[in-house]
A and B are shown apart, each in its own frame.
Chain A
Amino acid sequence: DADVTQTPRNRITKTGKRIMLECSQTKGHDRMYWYRQDPGLGLRLIYYSFDVKDINKGEISDGYSVSRQAQAKFSLSLESAIPNQTALYFCATSDYREGLTADTQYFGPGTRLTVL
């Protein structure tokens, strides 16, 4: 089974709808991230969380909210979806341990969201 899972894998919705993208991980990592990928723009950070009680905005947080329900779960919500939120969304995790500064970020398979 995959270490980082995202649901749904694909979603088509309409303008104004509320959408939740979910991310779960079995890696036991403390740190979780949400990125958005647009063609020609690379990946940009939406939100990140260093533990359950620590949530931070990223570069493009407007129009999004997150919830860290548990160490293993980090959800991204679009309260009222709009067409320019059509993108590929990635969840990622990384580990933090005292003295460890070079751990890799592990990515989920991505969610393709289309807002009509």
Chain B
Amino acid sequence: AQTVTQSQPEMSVQEAETVTLSCTYDTSESDYYLFWYKQPPSRQMILVIRQEAYKQQNATENRFSVNFQKAAKSFSLKISDSQLGDAAMYFCAYSFTGNTPLVFGKGTRLSVIA
């Protein structure tokens, strides 16, 4: 079975600084999808970024980018120029295809310090 591990239960970053959230996963598949979701205090689940495993180029969305290391099964999220609104719980997730059930990590709570 696929598993997703987020080894940092909590992280903090100064406003305007850069922070990296770690995620590792285990799968025997060669093609799959990885996601980062953000959950602010409103508890809404918001997709931040996704990565298709067959694409070597790392995905980017504005201030958010990933470092996808397929051989190492690592999928970290980098947030640049951190803002107060980035404070949230962040979940890493895996799916075999883009629209099959997601397997989530346990989450990393990010605090942003003004």
Q: Which residues of A contact B (CB under 8 A)?
A: 31, 33, 35, 40-45, 48, 58, 88, 90, 92, 94-96, 100-105, 107, 109-110, 112
Contacts and interface: CB of A to CB of B under 8 A. Distances in A.
B105 A88 contact: no
Contacts, number: 63
A101 B45 contact: no
Given A33-B101, A102-B98, A105-B99, A88 B106 contact: no
Contact of A109 (B44, B91, B103): B44
B interface majority secondary structure: loop
A49 B101 CA distance: 10
A92 to B, nearest CB: 8
Contacts of A48: 101
21 contacts: A33-B101, A40-B106, A42-B6, A42-B106, A43-B93, A43-B104, A45-B101, A88-B43, A90-B45, A94-B98, A94-B99, A96-B99, A101-B98, A102-B33, A102-B52, A102-B98, A102-B99, A103-B99, A104-B50, A109-B43, A110-B45
B58 to A, nearest CB: 16
A32 B9 CA distance: 29
B83 to A, nearest CB: 22
Contacts of A43: 45, 91, 93, 102, 104
A102 B35 CA distance: 11
